[in-house]
Amino acid sequence: MAVPVPRRGDLRAARAGAFVGMALLAAAQAVAAPRNDYGNVVNVKFATKANGPVSALVVDVPAGAGTAEVRAAVAARVRAECAARESALDVQAEMLRQFPPYPGGEAPVPPAAFDGVVMVRSQGALVTPPPAGGPRIAALGGGELAFTLEGGGWNTTEKQKLATFIGYAYPAVRAVYGAPALSATVKIVRDTGVPAAQRNGGGYFNASLNEIHLYPSGGFPQDAEEVNLNLLHLMVHAFHGSAPLRYDAWEEGFARAATLAALEVLDPAAEAPKP
């Protein structure tokens, strides 16, 4: 199957303002890690330990909050996170533009996207979904994932396109990753709360609800390349479930590398974006 992925012209256009983009990379790292109140309790070189998922965007909700309330709280938190990232990057970009010449320096800074992991916390405790098939076991691995498309949001054509892609993508990720950490059914939600600027390249995996949230633009499903690539990336996050790697550089770095490896399994001839 030839999976729709970004082609050479798309990638070349994405490199507009690359000099500034590379210079901004260090600044982006400073704001890329989701903000929460977890951190290191042991800060020894090559032996650090964290007291929680530093890699996740943690959203606090009141006790007894229903699914709709949780989703609304998460959407608001994601929008705030994107706005904070954009503000920080704008400051860095303006500073760099004061020291020309930078090829492409006048190109606008791309909107800050969030395409990572969200976890919900209530009364000080992280919310994790009940394990499929019985009590949680200490060991992770050997799981199976099923993906469903939430009704009421996706039209018939979109469901068919996404279901077909998932049917090819899941075995490709398994070939790269191995079995998922936990067994679960992951719901794919068409979420209008995803910020407009990242409709095709953003979204998130809510590890507390086992949900992938997407909001493709009006060009989908005819123009599916970016949406498919982003969904593949979020599926990789879902393989970790509610046990993401503690640090953002590990969790997101792993997810991006595994996405590109899975993409080559899907379509060896595809021109995947390089990290």
Which CA distances in Å does 136 have to 143, 184, 190, 245?
Answer: 12, 12, 29, 18
Cβ within 8 Å of residue 87, ≥6 positions away: none
Q: What is the residue extent of each domain of the chain?
A: 41-77+113-266
Two tokens, residue 175:
């070939």
DSSP E strands in the chain: the ranges are 40-42, 49-50, 57-61, 117-122, 125-126, 145-149, 184-190, 204-206, 211-214
Closest CA to 266 of 194, 166, 185, 188: 166
Query: pTM (2 decimals)?
Result: 0.81
Ramachandran region of residue 203, left (φ > 0), alpha (ψ -120 to 50) or beta?
left
Reading the chain (275 residues) residue by residue, the pLDDT tens digits are: 455 654 433 433 333 333 444 444 444 444 555 667 899 899 998 889 999 898 899 999 999 999 999 999 999 998 888 888 777 777 777 777 777 666 556 667 767 677 889 999 999 999 998 766 555 554 677 899 999 998 778 999 999 999 999 999 999 999 999 999 989 999 999 998 887 777 787 889 999 999 999 998 878 888 888 889 899 999 999 999 988 988 888 899 999 999 999 998 998 766 655 54
